Amino acid sequence: MEEPALVPPTMEQIARWQGVQLPNATARHGLGEMQGLIDAMAKLRGTMVFEDEPSSFEAALRDCKEQEA
Amino acid sequence: MSALTSLSMTEAADAVARGEVTSEALVEACLARIAAHDGGVNAVIRLDAEEARAAARAVDQARAAGKILGPLAGVPMMHKDMYYRAGKVSTCGSKIRKDFVPKVTATVLNRLDDAGAVDMGTLNMAEFAQNPTGHNAHFGHCHNPWSLPYCTGGSSSGSGASVAARFVFAALGSDTGGSIRLPATICGVTGLKGTQTRVPRTGVMPLSFSADNVGPLVRTARDAARFLKVTAGPCPKDPTSAKEPVPDYEAALTGSIAGLKIAVVEDWFLDGIDPEVLKTFEAALDVLKGLGASVTRIAVPEMAAIGTYTALVSRSEGAAIHANWMREYPQDYAVHLNARLYGGYSLPATFYIEALSRRGPLLRAFCERALTPYHLVATPTLRIKVPTLAETDIDVDPANWDRFMGVSANTRPFNYLGLPTLSVPCGFDSNGLPIGLQLSARPFAEARVLQAGDAFQRVTDWHKREPVL
C-alpha cells in the first residue's frame, strides 16, 4: 500500500518541534495510520462549543451518579 | 490440581479467618504452582518467596493469638510490576527502568498490606503498560495458560495469567484502555475497572493521568467487591482521588437482578464482531434474562465521537511523559512501543484539548441515552477471538498493526467515559480460549456491575474452569 503523503512532512515536524527521530519502520507505518484520525476529527468539527473545557468531566462524573432508572 | 489454589480470593480469606487453612499453606500451594508452571507461562518477574512465607507466618500467629484479622488476611497476591514499593525494584516491564528503585510505596499496596494480604512479588506486564496484548521484548512475552501460543491480553498480562493459572488468588492490574479487562477476558478471569478517580494512584507508574485506573484481577465478582472495598477511597497524596463514600460492595451481592434493565449498544461494540463471540455474548444475555433482567438494543450516535477522542487522550499524554527517554534512549524501547509513542508526537494540542473538553458532555450524553433508561450496558469485552502472540506481533510484522490496535476497541471507550466496568468470563471459543462479558454502569455505581456479575456467576461456572497446564 502506498504511504500517505502526510508521513514525510510529519516526520520532519516531529523532529523539529519535539526533537524525536523516527525510531523504526513500524513507527513510520503507524504514522501513516494518523490519516484516519485526521479524517475522524474532521467529521467532528463543529461539535465542540465555546464553553466546553476539561474540568467539565469531573463535574459530569458527580452529576451522572446513579439515580433510580 | 491443588484444591487450595482452586479457592476464590474471598473463600481463601474466609478459610484463613475461620482457621480452616493456614496462610502458610496457601503460600506454599501458590509457590508450588509457580515453580511447576511459570516456565511456560512467564507471568512472574520477581518472586519474594521468603518474605511471603514470613508474612504468612505472622498472619497465622496473629490468628492463633486471637487478634482481629483484616478482610484479606493471609491471602497470597502479586502485583503488576508498576506499583511502587519503597526500596524494591519496579521495572515497569521495561529496560529503561530495570533497576529503578522507588522511594515511596503505592497507596493501594499499603491498603492491601493493612488488610493482611500477603505480597508474593511482581508480575510481567506490557512495557510501560503500553500494549493490549501482553508482548514484552525485555522480560519475554507472557503466555496464555489456556494455550501457550496465544496472547494473554495486556497490559496486565502477568496479572491475568497468574490468576488464571492459580499462581495467586488475586493480582493488581491497571487499566488505561482495557489493561485489566482485556487480560481478564482473554485469560478467563474476572477484572474490574472502577470509576475514574475511585482508587488512588499514588505510587503507581503513570501512563495517561486522565485515564489510568487501579484495579483487581480475581476469580469472582465477590472477590472484586472485597478488593475494591479495601483499595477505594480518597488519598491525600492523590488530589484527583474521589471523595465519594465507599459502600460495602459485598452487601449488594444479593444474587437477585430481577427488574434490572440492561442496554446493548449496537453501534461500535458489535462492529465486525466474530460470529462465535456474538453467539456467546447472546447466550450470556439469555442467562441474565433468565434471572429476571430485561435486555434492550439501543443506538448511541455519539459512539463515533467517543471512539475517536478516546484514542487521542492516552496517546498524547503517554507521548508527553516519555519524551525525554524517546530522545535519549529510543533504542531501549521495544519496536512496537516506540512506534506507538512516536505517532503521539504528531498530535496537535488542539486535538488533545478538544478530546478532554468533550469528555464531560459525551459522558452526559452516553448516560442520558444508555444509563438513564437502563441500569447497565452490556458488551463483549473483546469482539474478536483471542489472537495468538504471532498474529499481534508488530515488532516482527507492521502489517499486524490493525489487529494489534483493534484488540482494545471495546474497552477503551469506558476509560474515556470514566465508567465502572466489570469483565466476567462467559464462554470459550472453538480454539478453547475464553470469551468475556463486559458490564458498565453509571459513575460510582460499581455495586451495580458487581451485583450483576455475581448473579451471573451464581448460575454459570465459566469462572470456575481452570486451564490444564
Q: Coil, helix or strand for A15? A: helix
Between the alpha carbon of residue B49 and those of residues A25, B28, B54, B121, B312, the distances in Å are 42, 9, 9, 8, 41
Please give the grid coordinates belonging to residue B327. 530522545
Interface test mutation site (partner B, options A6, A66, A67, max chain B beta carbons within 10 A): A66
How many Cβ atoms from other residues are within 10 Å of residue B335's Cβ? 20
* Cβ-defined contacts of B465-468 (< 8 Å, 24+): B465/B188, B465/B425, B466/B1, B466/B6, B466/B164, B466/B166, B467/B145, B467/B146, B467/B164, B467/B165, B467/B188
Q: What's the confidence (pLDDT) of residue B2?
A: 53
* Residue A20 within a domain: yes
A26–B398 CB contact, under 8 Å: yes
Q: Which residues of chain A make contact with B311, given a CB cutoff of 8 A?
A: 37
Q: What's the confidence (pLDDT) of residue B238?
A: 96
Average pLDDT of chain B is 97
B243 in contact with chain A, both atoms CB, cutoff 8 A: no
* Residue A43 within a domain: yes
Closest partner residue to B442 (CB to CB) among A13, A19, A66 is A66
Q: What's the confidence (pLDDT) of residue B400?
A: 83
Q: Coil, helix or strand for B210? A: coil
Closest partner residue to A40 (CB to CB) among B308, B330, B401 is B308
Domain that holds residue A15: 7-63
Closest partner residue to B374 (CB to CB) among A47, A48, A69 is A69
Residues of chain B with confidence (pLDDT) below 50: 1
Closest partner residue to A27 (CB to CB) among B197, B339, B363 is B339
Distance CA B387, CA B407 (A): 9
Q: Predicted ipTM?
A: 0.95
B46 in contact with chain A, both atoms CB, cutoff 8 A: no
Between the alpha carbon of residue B228 and those of residues B225, B232, B250, B446, the distances in Å are 5, 6, 10, 9
Interface test mutation site (partner B, options A10, A16, A24, max chain B beta carbons within 10 A): A24
Q: What's the confidence (pLDDT) of residue B397?
A: 83
The stretch A33-56 carries a mean pLDDT of 93
B327–A30 CB contact, under 8 Å: no
Between the alpha carbon of residue B383 and those of residues A56, B277, B309, B410, B423, the distances in Å are 31, 6, 20, 7, 13
Distance CA B47, CA B78 (A): 9
Residue of B nearest to A53 (CA): B357
* Residue A54 within a domain: yes
Backbone angles phi, psi at B227, to 5 degrees: -60, -45
* Residue B77 within a domain: yes
B149 in contact with chain A, both atoms CB, cutoff 8 A: no
Selecting among B8, B23, B94, B155, the annotated active-site residue is B155
Residues B343-377 have pLDDT tens digits of: 999 999 999 999 999 999 999 999 999 999 999 99
DSSP run (H or E) holding B79: strand B76-80
Q: What's the confidence (pLDDT) of residue B264?
A: 98
B404 in contact with chain A, both atoms CB, cutoff 8 A: no
Distance CA A7, CA B273 (A): 31
- Tell whether omega for the bond before B256 is within 30 degrees of 0, i.e. cis: no
What is the percentage of chain A residues whose pLDDT exceeds 90?
84
* Residue A23 within a domain: yes
* Residue A11 within a domain: yes
Question: DSSP readout, B394-430?
Answer: TTT-GGGHHHHHHTTTTTHHHHHHT--EEEEEEEE-T
Distance CA B374, CA B352 (A): 31
* Residue B469 within a domain: no
B443–A10 CB contact, under 8 Å: no
Query: Are B284 and B427 within 8 A, CB to CB?
Result: yes
A61–B261 CB contact, under 8 Å: no
Domain that holds residue B237: 4-464
Residues A11-32 have pLDDT tens digits of: 999 999 999 999 999 999 999 9
Of B463, B441, B466, B467, the C-alpha closest to B222 is B463
* Residue A68 within a domain: no
Q: Domain count of chain A? A: 1
A21 in contact with chain B, both atoms CB, cutoff 8 A: yes
Tell me the CATH number at B296.
3.90.1300.10
Distance CA B401, CA B379 (A): 24
Residue found under cell 474490574? B192
* Residue A37 within a domain: yes
* Residue A1 within a domain: no
Distance CA B382, CA A16 (A): 39
Q: Domain count of chain B? A: 1
Q: Which residues of chain A make contact with B304, given a CB cutoff of 8 A?
A: 40, 43
Residue B91, strand partner residues: none
Q: Which residues of chain B make contact with A22, given a CB cutoff of 8 A?
A: 342
